[in-house]
Structures are given as C-alpha cells and as structure tokens.
Amino acid sequence: MKLTGYIRKAVWGVTASLIAMTASPLLAETDYPTRPVTILVGAGPGGGNDLAARLIADDLTKTLGQAFVVENRPGASGARAAEYMMTQPADGYTLLLGNTATQIYNAMLLADTTFDPDRDSALAGMFGKSSNVLVVNKDLPVNSVAELVALAKEKPGELNYGSAGVGGSIHLAGAYFTQLAEIDAVHVPFKSGAEMMTDIIAGNTDFAIDNLATSFSAISNGDLKALAVTNATRWDSLPDVPTMAEAGYPQLDLTSFYSLVAAKDTDPAVLDKLNTAIAAYVASPEGAEQLGRIGAVPFDLSPADYPAFITTQGEIWRAMIVAGGTTPLK
C-alpha cells in the first residue's frame, strides 16, 4: 500500500480535479462528494464481495472525483458492517456493499442483529450478480440433475452434500434442493467454500450448490461436473449447463447480487447521483469485463424495480430457510 498508495492518491487527485473541472456544471444539484467516501464490506479482503466493492470503488473514484475507500468489517455474514453503517451519519459518506446476506437473509436468520434492510437502508445502485451452480464429483456416475436425483433415491442416506456453513446460501440451497427433489442426503458443513470444493474434488463429499465464482476453475478443469445453474437463464461462461428451471426445479431461481446501499435517510439527490454513476458503470464494457473476472455479470436493476426483486428473492430465501430446518424471523 505504501508506495503505490501514494502514487495512486496522486493520480487520483489529478484525474479527480480534471473531471471535477469538466463535469461539475452537469451535476450541479448536489456537490456530493466533497470528501472521501467509505464503502463498508462485511467480509475480509479477497472474497467476491470485497473484490466487487473494490471494483465499484475504483470506478466511482474516477467518475465522482473523490476517493471511495473500502473498509473491511467482517463478522456475522455482513451484519456487523451493516450495523456499523447505522451508527454513522446518513450523509452518503458511509456506504455498504449490500448483498443477499445484508439485504435479505441476515434479518431472517440472526436473532440479535439490529439492522433491518427495509427500515435502515436505501439502494444507491445495483451493479452485479452471480449464480450458484450444482456441482458433483467428476467420478459420480451422473450427468444431469435427473440422474443425480435417481442415484440419491437408489441409495437413500448415502450421498453427502457440502456447504460453507450452516445457514449460509450453499447450505440452504442444498437443503431446499433435497426437499424439492425428495431425496435423503447428508449435509456436511465446511469452514469455507474452498475447503468444501476440495472435499468434493477428492470424492469425500458428493455434491453442492456452490457459488459459481468459487467452483468455476474446478469446473473448467474438469475436476467438478456442473449439472445446473440457479440463475433464471443460462450463464454465458457455461453455455452447456442447463438452468435449474430447465432441470425441473424452477423454485431454485437464486441470484446473488452486489449493490451499494446507504442509510435510509440519505438525501435523495445524493442517492440519485450515485445511482447515475453506478448505472453508467453497469452499462460500460469495462464494467462487464471487470465483473466477469470475479465470476459476476453486470446487473441492471433500477431503484424502482428493486423492492419487487427483493420481495421475490425474499420468498425464495424464506422457503430455503424452512427447508434448512429453521423458522425465518421475519
């Protein structure tokens, strides 16, 4: 960080002032941002969420002329970062990387989180989404979801499915799948997605509905077989893999997303300005290319369509949580 930090700050400073000089007349409604903006990430450095935050932070730094700085506050699947945002002034200078956890299921699962996404946050902009994918060990004698279900019915209680922790998206999707397909498989939790993937490659665990970003490399190497993606449509980088809906499980329409959210009472002009900048990133070829590198695609969703999207996904999550053996709190 030291040297490059310096250089980067200098470069940003210069570009920022140039941009500010040329662009300021167009954006006269609010002078936001006049000082650096913090983007809170509820995960440690290096994961998909962190990288997504850094991509959008870099872009906003260039287009809005102030440094957007990523601050990692890991803990309780993002709940700690979200709660921290509540303690900060609602001025748009503390944003949160909003994802499925912070915006949908933490409130349903964590009894002691004080952050309620509907009550406490407002969308600044949606920018990326990714899919989950049903993967199996390459030596498992199945090549489709139907064959996997048939195998599991033939050997009830013998197959294992992995997850990166109880109550996480991989576990809940797996549990929901076993419920929908009426199969009896044993859940094996792991500490991280990478550990789970290793165990599936080694053949000790049989299948999982993993995050695409984690298992993409193993799929393209042939170490894992991908049977279906949970996205509503086929995924560009895996064109031969059917969707869960095609495989007969339309209920498993699962989208994990990346967004920036601000505190609820933030000035609408500030949200508007952020939204315009984020929408421009989503529409740009660089945005598509950069998001592609972290296993995501641009997600163009207007603030007007956001509540409906959250409601639909919320219903799916509620069903998954029930399948996972708990009662949603909300």
Per rule CB under 8 A, is residue 212 in the interface with another protein?
Answer: no
Q: How far is the CB of 69 from another protein (least distance, A)?
A: 5
Tokens of 167: 């109550």
**Would you list the DSSP string of 72-125?**
E---GGGHHHHHHHHHS-SSSSEEEEEEHIIIIIHHHH-TT----HHHHEEEEE
Q: Which of 37, 54, 159, 279 touches another protein (CB under 8 A)? A: 54
Footprint on residues 62-81 left by another protein (CB under 8 A) = 69-76, 80
Question: Which of 48-56, 130-138, 250-258, 301-309 is the region at the interface with another protein (rule: CB under 8 A)?
Answer: 48-56
What string marks each residue from 230 to 269 as x (binds another protein by CB under 8 A) or -? ----------------------------------------
- The 8 Å CB, 24+ separation contacts for 146-155 are 146/247, 146/248, 148/207, 148/227, 149/181, 149/183, 152/178, 152/181, 152/183, 152/184, 152/185, 153/182, 153/183
Instruction: Write down how long the chain is.
Output: 330
Which residues are CB-contacts of 108 (< 8 A; sequence separation ≥ 6)?
Answer: 314, 317, 318, 321, 328, 329, 330
Opening angle at CA 194, ends 191 and 196, nearest 5: 65
Question: Which of 226-234, 248-256, 292-300, 311-319 is the region at the interface with another protein (rule: CB under 8 A)?
Answer: 292-300
Q: How far is the CB of 53 from another protein (least distance, A)?
A: 10
Question: Are 321 and 328 a contacting pair, CB within 8 Å?
Answer: yes
CA max distance for the chain: 69
Q: At what angle do helices 268-283 and 285-293 cross, to 10 degrees?
A: 80
Q: Which of 167, 287, 298, 314 touches another protein (CB under 8 A)? A: 167
Tokens of 15: 């570009």
Question: Which of 139-147, 268-276, 290-298, 304-312 is the region at the interface with another protein (rule: CB under 8 A)?
Answer: 290-298
Pairing of strands 37-41, 68-72: parallel
What dihedral do alpha carbons 318, 319, 321, 324 form, nearest 10°? 180
Per rule CB under 8 A, is residue 221 in the interface with another protein?
Answer: yes
Q: Tell me the site size for another protein, rule CB under 8 A.
A: 61
Q: How far is the CB of 1 from another protein (least distance, A)?
A: 5
Q: Which of 17, 220, 311, 312 touches another protein (CB under 8 A)? A: 220
Nearer to another protein (CB atom), residue 120 or residue 199: 199
Beta bridge partners of 207: 136, 161
Eight-state DSSP code of residue 27? G
Per rule CB under 8 A, is residue 10 in the interface with another protein?
Answer: no
Q: How far is the CB of 110 from another protein (least distance, A)?
A: 9
What string marks each residue from 104 to 143 as x (binds another protein by CB under 8 A) or -? --------x-------------------------------
Q: How far is the CB of 274 from another protein (least distance, A)?
A: 19
Question: Which of 138-146, 219-227, 245-253, 266-274 is the region at the interface with another protein (rule: CB under 8 A)?
Answer: 219-227
Q: Which of 16, 33, 49, 51 touches another protein (CB under 8 A)? A: 51
Residues of this chain that interact with another protein (CB under 8 A) are: 1-6, 8-9, 38, 44-47, 50-51, 54-55, 58, 69-76, 80, 87, 89, 112, 157, 160, 165-167, 186, 188-192, 194-195, 197-199, 201-202, 204-205, 213, 216-218, 220-221, 223, 290, 293-295
